Amino acid sequence: MSNLVSVPKNGSLTNTNSNSNFPTLSNWLDDIFNRDLPSVFTSNFNTGITLPKVNIKETADAFMVEMAVPGLKKSDFQIDLDNQVLSISTETKEEKEQKGENYTRREFGYSSFKRTFNLPESVNDESINASYLDGILSIVLPKKEEAKQKPVRSIKVL
């Protein structure tokens, strides 16, 4: 006597005795590779610090760059301008050592980042200034006089 197997419209064969609670190897691998990577893989491995977020705002007179980088000192920043490219970077190292009667504990920490921005020709690169307050690095990029927006004026028809 032969057993007939019903074939669904999509053409796949199904086993009615299978336990659907156990994932197949392909489903398990798909699950691993299709989910988001843990934040430990998308951040700095040593410290968990990610690339700092930046806000850029334009006014009539300047561009303003604000970067959230709490926990640093003013002296930790290196800001360079080279060929209309603004580079903001920092590198911090920390070493701790604790000695006990039967042990020595050492911890090393390292974090760094570098962000670069291509500046428009309208920036007056001689007047750029930066400040650091309450974890926010602020950089003001003043515009050249000819690039500043002029106020609206009315023209009379003669």
So what's the pLDDT on residue 46? Answer: 46
- Global confidence as pTM: 0.58
Mean pLDDT in residue range 53-74: 91
Query: Which residue shows structure tokens 């491995």?
Result: 45
Task: Extract the tokens encoding 88.
Answer: 């903001």
What is the architecture of the domain spanning 47-146?
Answer: Sandwich (2.60)
Please determine, for residue 24, whether its predicted confidence score (pLDDT) is greater than 70.
Answer: no
Mean pLDDT in residue range 45-72: 82
pLDDT tens digit sequence for 98-148: 888 888 888 888 788 899 999 988 899 899 999 999 999 999 999 988 877
Closest Cα to residue 48, out of 137, 111, 135?
111
Give the domain ranges of the chain: 47-146
80 exposed, middle or buried (CB, 10 Å; 0-12, 13-18, 19+)? exposed
Contacts of 49 (CB under 8 A, 6+ apart): 43, 111, 113
